[in-house]
Structure 1
């Protein structure tokens, strides 16, 4: 069985970890190839350097530049050329929004190639009515299997016409657990000196991400300001901001006490900053998932996450490993932060332990096993049925 994965950008360190694990687990009678459309996207330039990314899997790069500069014609001709050369039994697409993928879907169907969709979308992702939904239903009917970021994205595929037997996994929101945890554990031993270096207080919340409108940073700053004014226990708490983006200049003008702007950092250095924090906060108006929540939980941190983030159904259990809130209600976020301030050290530690329990199914090794099992069912249904 020959499996071709089509992915958008080489920059994605979390996908590199999954693809590397898929290559490691690749059965002897199977062949895997990943086609990367481009190196990166313009929007990621402000996150900081990409850091060390190991691509331990076979891949072909269509365009050594930004995805934004890859033309439609080069994209579709390059993809069809790769299919003709590799002659796959299964093509795994990383989405269904790109018009080039629509043509590719038709081409694969004509050639009798099975299609698998990697899906991050859920019902929270924009408007869900009209002709667009009908068109999506038509597209989704062309796929034989679905690799989903979480239960909410799996539920959306089922609502759009997928069958439960076609769900390969709902744990595909993975990252490089090994690197994240190694950096975090190493940094724990030096965190006191780092706190002194940045003049940080004893306890800290942390935000990691692009400083962009959808991240809802003004609400976080307002909620933190409210907390500092209304709870004496917040005196020794700070807010660390890791990231860069279009709103940096506007947001950085706020002279709030105990807010520390530490800039964009390479992905593999972020865990060192998580070691300075007691809880992660993700206040976004919308996130298809929110992988920074995975990172924090792999490090054993509690989390405060907007209920508009795709990960909340799977990764946040209220009052057990964190809290959720409506992103449009700043006071709810402030109250959630206040709850953390009033927890004991032992209670926050217990929350972090529950985070480790909830994140366990989202490990690359487990997810890669589920994906290969799904590929087997689709590519060799008779053999898979016999083995079961």
Structure 2
């Protein structure tokens, strides 16, 4: 009989839906996904992007799911009090072989842990956090007490990368219980659509005044402080003497106006803000770019790097991005630089500009690297974790 799995997560997310479909397609897995919110399914305001939209890719097709009722109707998906009071009934009535909990930062997840333990259902944790994010002394002290107790409730752990695995080991989790289930996107979705967009990408570059042979650096994220888009604009501005270097900014948010103003003040005609683009539009911009830049001051991972590498782009990422130790091989798949150091970012941009043969080789290495972080690897890791749970 197939393993009967319940996944507990906050809401439908464009990156998670392909994984859920892949799990549902496995003959030895019977999966139900429980959501605490329907955020993202219909058009709603996203404060980070500063606009109302719904993702234009299917979020609920190809797998079984349940939307749980909340104690507070209309509660924000970002509110820690988001709960799922019906979990008790589901756990009581269904004999799940494992409960996979996607985090611990909401009441919903603690309810899943509590009722999973109450009905003796094995718990597996898939979190994102690591030890790199600077936090107040009091928070660190609380975690030093809480995390060892929390992690003892789980039979296995699905680590999204090496830094996340390091968190579990730091708080006493046995290496045998940690399985690398890489943070992943639908590589084929992005790669195939980028290839299909080559001619449109050529015309896009032409419309933006980008000459053949110029190097295009791409920023693709919410325009918020944590993502540090201004660092890339400053770096590009410092390279004004290089007319062959361009930056395309894809995204929207509170910093859009500041980014636009800084671009104008820089005197550069090579900084292009194109606004928000939905999922099906993104491959066109990957096809039009040569290098992705992720300057964030904190990312538990940074899935935009997976997307870019799947499309054959080398990446420059700050050392505050959780994906850096796993995805970036210096000089092969991209470069890492100290977060906030605009000079170092500009130097990395220089290293990756002008030599198209080298960029192509690094792009192919990046594409190869992305295959090590595919959905298939995460499916395999979950199966390994299930064996660990049932074999003790």
TM-score if structure 2 supplies the norm length?
0.89
Q: Which residue of 2 aligns with 1:176?
A: 186
Which ranges of structure 2 fall in alignment gaps of 5 or more residues?
41-45
Q: Which runs of 5+ in 1 are unaligned?
A: 383-388
The offset of 1:357, in angstroms, is: 2.1
1:67 Cα deviation from its structure 2 partner: 5.9
Q: CA deviation at 1:276?
A: 0.7
Q: Distance in 2 between matches of 1:63 and 1:324?
A: 43
Cα offset, 1:83, TM superposition = 2.2
CA distance in 2, matches of 1:83, 1:92: 13
- Of the structure 1 ranges 236-245 and 130-139, higher mean CA displacement relative to structure 2 is found in 130-139
Paired residues, what number?
A: 372
Normalized per residue, the structure richer in helix is 1
- CA deviations over 1:216-260 (Å, ceiling 9, x no partner): 11211111111224xxxx212210000011111222122042111
Q: 2:376 aligns with which of 365, 369, 372?
A: 365
Q: Which runs of structure 2 are paired with 1:170-209 in the superposition (5 Å)?
A: 170-171=181-182, 173-201=183-211, 202-209=214-221
Q: Which residue of 1 aligns with 2:367?
A: 356
Query: Is 2:20 aligned against 1:19?
Result: yes
1:140-194 deviation digits (Å, cap 9, x = unpaired): 11111111111111111111121111112242x1111121112101011332212
1:3 aligned residue: 5
Cα distance between partner residues in 2 of 1:88 and 1:349 = 48
CA distance in 1, matches of 2:334, 2:78: 41
Q: Could you tell me how far apart the structure 2 residues matched to 1:309 and 1:73 are?
A: 27
CA deviations 1:308-332 (Å, max 9, x no partner) are: 0000010001111111111122111
Moved more, 134-143 or 69-78: 69-78
Once residues 348 and 83 of structure 1 are traced to their aligned partners in structure 2, the CA distance between those partners, rounded to angstroms, is 52
Deviations 1:53-96 (A, max 9, x none): 25311111226997616988872313323323433231111101
Cα pair 1:181 1:298 within 8 Å, conserved: yes
Distance change in 2, residues 1:37/1:44 (3 Å): farther
3-state DSSP class of the match of 1:374?
A: helix
CA–CA separation in structure 2 for the residues paired with 1:248 and 1:80: 44
Segments of 4+ moved more than 4 angstroms:
63-67, 69-74
The answer to whether the 8 A contact 1:227-1:337 is kept is no
RMSD of the TM alignment (CA)?
2.2
Instruction: Kindly report which structure 2 residues correspond to 1:301-380, keeping only aligned pairs within 5 A, or say none.
Output: 301-342=313-354, 344-378=355-389, 380=390
Task: Please name the residue that 2:43 is paired with.
Answer: none
Q: Which residue of 2 aligns with 1:251?
A: 259
